[in-house]
Structure 1
Amino acid sequence: MKRAILPAFLPLATASAVVGLTAPAEANERDKKFFQQVEGEWVGPGEIVAGKYKGTKFTCSFTGSTPEASVGMTLDGSCRVGVFTQKMSATVERKGSGYRGTFMDGAAGKGLDVVSGNVDGRRVVLGLNRAALKGAMIARLSDDDAMTVTVSVRVEKQMVPVIGMNLKRVDGAAVGSVAQK
C-alpha cells in the first residue's frame, strides 16, 4: 500500500488549500492571493526521503490555475522517475469555512483527499487522508519563483517527512534553452 500512496502525494506539492481566518471576506481575499501566487508553470526535482523508497529521485512539471467563480486551484501535470511518467491532477476548492479537494480520483479510488488547510503568509499547510493514512503537505514560497514542498505522514504520534521538492517557476520560458546575446 505504501507504494501506491507515496507517489500520490507528489502533485499536492502545488495544490494549496486554506481555512481559519477570522473574517470570511478577508480570508477569501488572502486565500485568493495565495492561490494566484502559485498559478502558472512549475518544474523541479524531488526525492523520497523516508520509507521503502528512500533515495528515489523524481522530477515534476505542473500547471496551476484558479477558478473565476470560487476560491481554489486546479493543478495538472506529471511526475517522472527515470523513463516512467505518471499523470498527476488535483483540485482544491473552498467549501463553507474550509477547503476540500481530491488528488486524482480521491481516497475512494487510488488517490487522496485534501481534508483541511491553512495559509499563513507565503506558506500553506494541507491535511491529507487516505483510509488509515493521515498526512500533511507544507508548501512555502521562498520568493515569487521558488517553492519548497514537504510531505509528511503520521507514524504513531509523530509526523515523519517522506517527500521533499524544490520547484521553480518557468512561465513562458523554455526549460533548458540557451540565452541569446
Structure 2
Amino acid sequence: MAPTPRILRSALLIAALAAALPASALAESDDDAFFRQVAGKWTGPGKIVEGKLKGTHFKCELDGLPVTGDEGGFKLDGKCRAGLFSHPITAVFIRDGDSYRGQFLDGEDGDGLAVTGGTIENQKAVIALRRKEVEGALVTSMQSENDLNITLLIKGGTRYVPVIGLSLKREGDPFTVGAIK
C-alpha cells in the first residue's frame, strides 16, 4: 500500500522543520558538554615553569562542579600542596550571554585574577584573565574522559608564556558530584 499524499506531505513538513532547527537545539553545545565533563574529583601534579619559583613541583586536589541555572559554567575548588605548604584554590568560569566572567582565587581586587572572556571549542576552554595591567590565559583541555590539563599563561610582550602546568586525573565516577548555583 502506497503512502497517501497527506502522510507524505506531513513527513516532508516534519523533515523540513527538523532541518531548520539550529544545531544547538538538536545537540548539546560545546560549552555545556565541557561544563558537564569537568564535573568530578581531580588530582594530579603541577609545576611552575617560569618566574621566581621556577621548578617548584606541587600536587592539587580539586572538585569540578558545574554551575547550574540560566548561565551555566564550572567551578574548580580545592587545594594545592607544595612540600609542607597548602594553598586553597578556587576558579569560577560562568557563561554570561556571548561572553564569560568569573575569577581565579579571589579575583583581580584580591590576590587572584579576573576572568574577562574566553572560548570553548573541541573539549578546550581558553579563558582570558587579567590582573591590573597584566593579561593572561588559562587553557583547560580535556585530553580524555579522565585526563584534564591546565596551563596558565601570562602575556609577555607580544606572546603568551606558560607559567604553570597541571595534569589532573579524574578519581571515581564523574557523575557523583553536585552542582552549585
TM bucket normalised to smaller: 0.7 to 0.9
2:48 is the alignment partner of 1:48: yes
2:100 is the alignment partner of 1:99: yes
Give the Å deviation of 1:92.
Answer: 1.6
Give the Å deviation of 1:122.
Answer: 1.3
Secondary structure, counterpart of 1:35 in structure 2: helix
| Partner residue, 1:135 | 136
Give the percent of matched residue pairs that are identical in Structure 1 and Structure 2: 39
8 Å CA contact 1:42–1:171 kept in 2: the answer is no
Give the Å deviation of 1:67.
Answer: 2.4
Of 35-44 and 24-33, more deviation after overlay is shown by: 24-33
8 Å CA contact 2:67–2:74 kept in 1: the answer is yes
Secondary structure, counterpart of 1:36 in structure 2: helix
| Partner residue, 1:82 | 83
Q: Distance in 1 between matches of 2:36 and 2:116?
A: 21
Alignment of 1:18-37 (within 5 A): 29-37=29-37
Q: Distance in 1 between matches of 2:113 and 2:27?
A: 25
8 Å CA contact 1:44–1:167 kept in 2: the answer is yes
Q: Distance in 1 between matches of 2:93 and 2:172?
A: 22
Secondary structure, counterpart of 1:105 in structure 2: coil
Give the Å deviation of 1:27.
Answer: 9.7
Q: CA RMSD in A?
A: 2.2
Question: How many corresponding residue pairs?
Answer: 152
8 Å CA contact 1:114–1:129 kept in 2: the answer is yes
Structure 1 residues 110 and 143: CA distance shift in structure 2, 3 A: same
Secondary structure, counterpart of 2:29 in structure 1: helix
8 Å CA contact 1:44–1:61 kept in 2: the answer is yes
| Partner residue, 1:120 | 121
Structure 1 residues 27 and 160: CA distance shift in structure 2, 3 A: farther
Give the Å deviation of 1:24.
Answer: 7.3
* TM-score under structure 2 length normalisation: 0.77
Give the Å deviation of 1:23.
Answer: 7.7
Give the Å deviation of 1:111.
Answer: 1.3
8 Å CA contact 2:150–2:166 kept in 1: the answer is yes
Structure 1 residues 106 and 23: CA distance shift in structure 2, 3 A: farther
Give the Å deviation of 1:39.
Answer: 0.5
Q: 2:83 is aligned with what amino acid?
A: G
8 Å CA contact 1:32–1:71 kept in 2: the answer is yes
Secondary structure, counterpart of 2:33 in structure 1: helix
* TM-score under structure 1 length normalisation: 0.77
Q: 2:50 is aligned with what amino acid?
A: A
Q: Distance in 2 between matches of 1:110 and 1:68?
A: 26
Q: Distance in 1 between matches of 2:150 and 2:160?
A: 15
Q: 1:44 is aligned with what amino acid?
A: G
Structure 1 runs (4+) greater than 3 angstroms displaced = 22-28
